[in-house]
Each structure stands twice: as structure tokens, then as C-alpha cells.
Amino acid sequence: MSEASTLFKVLLSVVLIAAPAVAFSLLYRTAPYGRHGARRVGPTLSTRMGWVVMECPSALAFAHFFFRGPNSLDAVPLVLATLWLLHYVHRSFVYPLEMRVGANATIPVAIVSMGFIFNMINSYLNGTWVSTYGSYPSSWFDDPRFFIGVVVFAAGFFINRQSDAILRTLRGPGETGYKIPEGGMYAFVSCPNYLGEVMIWTGWAIATWSLAGLSFAVFTAANLVPRALANHRWYRDTFPDYPRTRRAVIPWLL
């Protein structure tokens, strides 16, 4: 076993083992940013800057590890990489500029640092798998797993973008504070942006049919589902007229 493949397997195991621990922790202690960021948590960065620093490895490091691989110019790996980068170039460099946050909004350096480290590891695992360790001949385009995965990815991408757009237009010029979001998947859940994100990486896991993809989908759910539950409780506690039929993140279920 080569040293590189040993590192890959060790980091993959770390992510898979860490996911349930993260989910359990976040069920009892909500990450302190956004509407849950009132308590003191040490040094902070501006929200926009912190978001760019935290997310940029998902675009830059993924591209680096992907294009180092011997199969990076093959058709299927290129399509898969395009899907990944389509999401993360926007999420890393465009979304922070679109965020409706106050001039003094901050995010803890600890949160940014943990996100940066995870995104570096995750980009290494998925970029390396798709272009080096995985096997994706052109016939993969005809495989039901590729088709189903891309459809789920695209549906999640649409839900995620639509939900973010609704949040951006929720407040008028000069308005502050929180409102109840309406429209799109907000008719069914409190956090459709998180639902979309989970769907995106579930679709990626199916389309790549890989443990690297599965580890990311599981870790995404472990991070976002507890946050969605916390946001859902917050909405219900804050707004007496909050729609009682809405669930937190999965329509009609959770």
C-alpha cells in the first residue's frame, strides 16, 4: 500500500467516525454563529471574510487535487468536477457578497478554522478519488447511478439557490431583524437551504458511488440537520404565529 493511499484511507476513516460525534455534539450545543451567535466565543472575523476563508478550499483545493490525478481530463471525471465547482465557486466567492448581514456581523475564528480544515480534507478525498482512485469510463454516463445522482444533485442545487434567494429578499431596504420566510420549499420546512445542501451531496455520493462521496453526504447531514432543528425551535419560540405544519428540514417527517 502506497503512502498516499494510506493517508487517503486514514482521512476517510476520520471523517466517517467524526460525523456521528459531530451530530451528537450539535444536538446539544448549537454552533455559535448567525441567530445563535449571541454568546462569547473568542476571536471573530467579519462574516463575509470568514465565509470566504472557510469555504475557499472547497473550490481551490479540490481543483488542485483533482487536476493532479491521472484521469482528470477524462470525460466523466471532468463532468463530476464541473458539478462540484459549479456549487463551490459560487458558495466560496459569490455567496458571501450576496449575504444580507449587518456591517458588524461576525463569525468565530474557531468555527472558520474547523470549517477550513474539514474542507481541505474533504476536497482532498473527493478530488483525489474522482481523478485518481475511482474508475469512471465513458460508460458511466449510461449508469443509472450517475443519472439518479445528477438529478438529485440538480434538484438540491435548485432548492438551495432558491431558498437563499428568498432569504436575501426577506427584508426591505433599511429593515433589520428576522421575518418568517415564505415561498418555495419554505412552505414545507424551516430550512430548505439545508435540505438542498444535503440533497446536493447525497446526489454527489450516488453519482460518484464512492465512500469519499458518502462520507461528505453523511458529514453534511450530521452538521446541518441539528442546525435545522435548532433553527426550527428558534422560529417557533420567536414567532407565535409560525406555521405549525412546517417541519425542520425533511417535509412531513423531521
Give residue-wise pLDDT tens across range 128-169: 999 999 999 999 999 999 999 999 999 999 999 999 999 888
Distance CA 139, CA 125 (A): 23
Distance CA 10, CA 7 (A): 5
Please write down the long-range contacts of 16-24, taking CB distance under 8 Å and 24 or more positions apart. 16/211, 16/214, 16/215, 16/218, 18/219, 19/215, 19/218, 19/219, 19/221, 19/222, 20/222, 22/219, 22/222, 22/223, 23/221, 23/222, 23/223, 23/225, 23/226
Contact 20, 222 (CB under 8 A): yes
- Reported as a pLDDT band with limits 50, 70 and 90, residue 13 is very high
Distance CA 205, CA 162 (A): 22
Contact 161, 193 (CB under 8 A): no
Contact 208, 132 (CB under 8 A): no
Q: Which residue has the cell 462520507?
A: 215
Distance CA 16, CA 97 (A): 32
In this predicted structure, the answer to whether residue 76 has a pLDDT above a threshold of 50 is: yes
Report pLDDT digits (tens) over 170-201: 877 666 677 888 989 999 999 999 999 999 99
The pLDDT score that the predictor gives to residue 171 is: 73
The pLDDT score that the predictor gives to residue 25 is: 86
More confident: 26 or 85: 85
Give this prediction's pTM: 0.90
